[in-house]
Amino acid sequence: MSEDRKLLEVQRLRKYFQVKGKGFRRQNVQAVESVSFDVFKGETLGLVGESGCGKTTLGRTVLRLYEPTSGRIVYDGTPIYDSEKKLAADMLPYRKKMQIIFQDPSASLDPRMTVGEIVGEGLSVHAKNLSRNERDERIKMLLDRVGLNTEHANRFPHEFSGGQQQRVGIARALAVDPEFIVCDEPISALDVSIQSQVVNMLEDLQEEKGLTYLFIAHDISVVRHISRRIGVMYLGCMVELAESYELCNHPVHPYTRSLLSAVPLPDPMKTRARQRVVLEGDIPSPLNPPSGCRFHTRCRYATSRCSQETPELKEVSPGHFCACHQVDG
């Protein structure tokens, strides 16, 4: 991995969805709120948090499948979105470099298209110079690389299992030789027995092709296995970001500690000896998030300052960032 080369820079990114009303009565879902992070070339940055915390929205907004509300996105040194400068670059040239693997393979594959047509769709846009035979060979090579038979090219998605459908989705993402892939919970819809196969395949592909991943999941034990660094999100905000080992062994934010305390351990003696950090209450509505720190309504350490001031993501130790008033920077 090249430490000094940032492939992706995200700065103060916001994404709001209007749900109802107009003018002063307009209400927005604040799905992503002022999130900043970098992804270095060749690394895997994991992103974890509870369902509904904005992980998927962040991944899609980075790719501009959702247009950002505000903020700045820089890809390989070139700004592709900047709200202050009113810059929104044409994304067609970047679609070849930036791809996504969707969470639900059965919903993301067109049921009316064959697997060969699905995998080859990107080639028809970004590799128009390929002949028909070259295109067919490329599709067969991709299917073989993700563990599917080349004869499967003429079949339809419903003829495959969930794991096989996800392999088709991975082949589709790889078809245009991308540099950066957003893996949006790529194993959450799969059986446990298949999950490790898909994760291992993603790791092999990364080593083989030098890929860079933003790996989104709610299972921190899976993210810990595949990621070099991990970011933790809560209600649209990034609350902690650190190296994988550092974050899992020395968590700083109360929310991160709670997530880690819920991870099952194979040793029942250690499980009984471990102290669970149980959160009280429910996640507040993103339609009306709490003032100040969004976690303060469920935090046992919250003070009056937490309800009034929004904490900034600050470096608390080398490479370890946390957004919490209770942590001395």
State residue 43's pLDDT score. 96
Other CB atoms within 10 A of residue 276 CB:
8
Cα torsion angle, 251, 254, 259, 264, sign: positive
pLDDT one-digit tens code per residue, 283-299: 788 888 999 999 999 98
State residue 121's pLDDT score. 92
List C-alpha distances in Å: 289 to 19, 57, 229: 15, 17, 27
C-alpha span between 133 and 324 (Å, rounded): 57
Which of 40, 32, 6 shows the shortest CA–CA distance to 243?
A: 40
Provide the β-strand partners of residue 318. none
C-alpha span between 37 and 294 (Å, rounded): 19
Amino acid identity of 197?
A: Q
pLDDT one-digit tens code per residue, 166-210: 999 999 999 999 999 999 999 887 888 888 888 999 999 999 999
Tokens 């003829």 map to which residue?
Answer: 159
Q: What is the pTM for the complete model shown?
A: 0.91
* CA dihedral of residues 208, 245, 182, 186 (deg, nearest 10): 90
Helix axes 132-145, 115-126, angle to 10 degrees: 120
Cα torsion angle, 57, 61, 62, 64, sign: positive
Domains and CATH numbers, the chain: 6-97+178-253 (3.40.50.300)
pLDDT one-digit tens code per residue, 40-67: 999 999 999 988 899 999 999 999 999 9
- Phi-psi map region of 27: left, alpha, beta (phi>0 left; psi -120 to 50 alpha): beta
Grouped pLDDT means (10 residues each) for the chain, 329 residues:
78 92 76 95 94 93 96 96 95 95 90 94 88 92 92 92 92 95 90 86 94 93 92 96 94 92 73 70 83 91 91 93 82
State residue 273's pLDDT score. 67
DSSP string, 266-311: S-HHHHHHSPP-PPPS-PPPTTSPPSSSTTGGG-TT--HHHHHSPP
